[in-house]
Amino acid sequence: MSTNQFDKKSEAWSALFSEPMSELVKRYTASVFFDKRLWQADITGSLAHAEMLAAQGIIGAADLASIQQGMAQITSEIEAGGFEWKLDLEDVHLNIEARLTQLVGDAGKRLHTGRSRNDQVATDVRLWLRSEIDLIIPLLGELQGALVDVAEKNVDVILPGFTHLQVAQPVSFAHHLLAYVEMFSRDAERMSDVRRRTNRLPLGSAALAGTTYPLDRERVARSLGMVDERGEPQVCQNSLDGVSDRDFAIEFTAAASLCMVHISRFSEELILWMSQNFGFVKIADRFTTGSSIMPQKKNPDVPELARGKTGRVVGHLMGLITLMKGQPLAYNKDNQEDKEPLFDTVDT
Ligand code: ARG
């Protein structure tokens, strides 16, 4: 079944290698068990690349058709949970490419013409993050809407305003809540701003120095929706930079950290407000927890946990920015470590 394609990574390498990779190194360097999360972006990016290769006459129309058909099958296999992810094939990119080649033969190998995993992974992470940002921005809008609803019902409710946590001047509870609406609106602005710089195409950078194939990068950018407000295609201008920098991921994590800091401040207030000493608000029973040994207690576990998870996201910002700081140009394997913190930031 696998005679005309590589089943093991080392078979794709040069004759320089006289022995197979150690099992320990294989496990240490593999990323497939977390980066398979990028599969959809990987296939989308590959299809755009393949269409461009065909349009430029670099591969034939028959090859393109085979690639499209193979990718459609792989998509259904992954969606149905039947795709076999192999540690031996290191990452999501090699797993999909090997399966494609197994399904459609040499056309599968030609897909990688003028491309490297270095510009491929940078493209995948950008596409994936862009779609996550597009989910996060409306969520921030919903959160603001909920705060505005509560504010509208509480315009005449007076709350002590604090400075130094000392009672200072009376304020409307609505006014207090609307302070958070402002914070979340800046968070959404920051997310849109990060999206703009994330939405640029590294493909065409190849391993680090570009390629002699006559690629049409603008065409790929357009088909992936990597365009600015005026519809102009956005491509990374420098190949060394395109494959190696993860500043867009760092920026995202920084924007997410600020957003979590705002959530954390609000959580802290809810926790204070519902304590017996303040007694300003009640949180519905279904959102609190109790204690069997101290039946008088109602615990604000949800805001406490939100406050706690802020540390986790800020930690990912520190992780990613430190990951970048010592790296010489261009791509280094260090960058494989960008994924888990980024994924966890989005999930959190
Ligand atoms: N799994 C790798 C990563 O996430 C893909 C790129 C690997 N490229 C390479 N030449 N080893 O960074």
Tell me: do 50 and 162 sit in the same domain: no
pTM of the model: 0.96
What's the pLDDT tens digit per position in 190-219?
999 999 999 999 999 999 999 999 999 999
Range with the poorest average pLDDT among 7-21, 150-164, 329-343: 7-21
Residue 272 structure tokens: 């204070």
Provide the number of structural domains found in the chain: 2
Q: Whose CA is nearest to atom 2 of ligand 1?
A: 336
Structural domain contains residue 185: yes
Is 164 one of the annotated active-site residues of the chain?
Answer: yes
CA–CA distance, 110 with 34 (Å, rounded to integer)? 26
Together in a domain, 223 and 249: yes
Whole-number Å distance, alpha carbon 117 to ligand 1 midpoint, is 6
Distance 329 CA to ligand 1 centre (A): 14
Alpha-carbon Rg of the chain, whole angstroms?
25
Q: Which atom of ligand 1 is nearest to the CA of 31?
A: 1
Q: Tell whether 267 and 282 lie within a shared domain.
A: yes
What CATH number should be reported for the domain holding residue 50?
1.10.275.10
For residues 95 and 224, membership in a common domain is answered with no
Give dist(CA 342, CA 174) in Å, integer. 35
Task: Say yes or no: 87 and 221 in one domain.
Answer: no
Q: Which of 164, 172, 185, 292 is catalytic?
A: 164
The verdict on 60 and 171 lying in the same domain is no
One domain, residues 104 and 143? no
pLDDT of residue 138: 98
Query: Phi/psi of residue 306, each to 5°?
Result: -65, -40
The residue whose C-alpha atom lies closest to atom 12 belonging to ligand 1 is 336
Q: Which of 91, 113, 135 is the last residue in one of the domains?
A: 113
Q: Is 253 in the pocket of ligand 1 (CB under 6 A)?
A: no
CATH number at residue 252: 1.20.200.10
Mean pLDDT of 275-288: 95
The pLDDT assigned to 46 comes to 99
Q: Which of 2, 10, 192, 291 is catalytic?
A: 291
Confirm or reject: Cβ of 120 under 6 Å from ligand 1: no
Q: Which of 113, 138, 162 delimits the end of a domain?
A: 113
Of the residues 53, 84, 113, the one at which a domain ends: 113
Residues 267/270/271/272 CA torsion (nearest 10 deg) = 120
Residues in CB range of 64: below 8 A, 6 or more apart: 50, 51, 53, 54, 107
Q: Is residue 4 predicted with pLDDT exceeding 50?
A: no
Q: What is the pLDDT of residues 226-274, one digit of tens each?
A: 999 999 999 999 999 999 999 999 999 999 999 999 999 999 999 999 9
- Mean pLDDT, to the nearest integer, of 175-196? 98
Q: Identify any residues that bridge with 235 across adjacent strands, giving them in sequence order.
A: 201
Q: At 6, which amino acid appears?
A: F
Domain with 177 in it = 118-347
Torsion of the alpha carbons at 269, 274, 277 and 279, rounded to the nearest 10: 110
Q: Are residues 150 and 288 in the same domain?
A: yes
Position 313 in a domain = yes
Testing ligand 1's pocket by substitution, the residue of 95, 112, 333 carrying the most ligand atoms inside 8 A of its CB is: 333
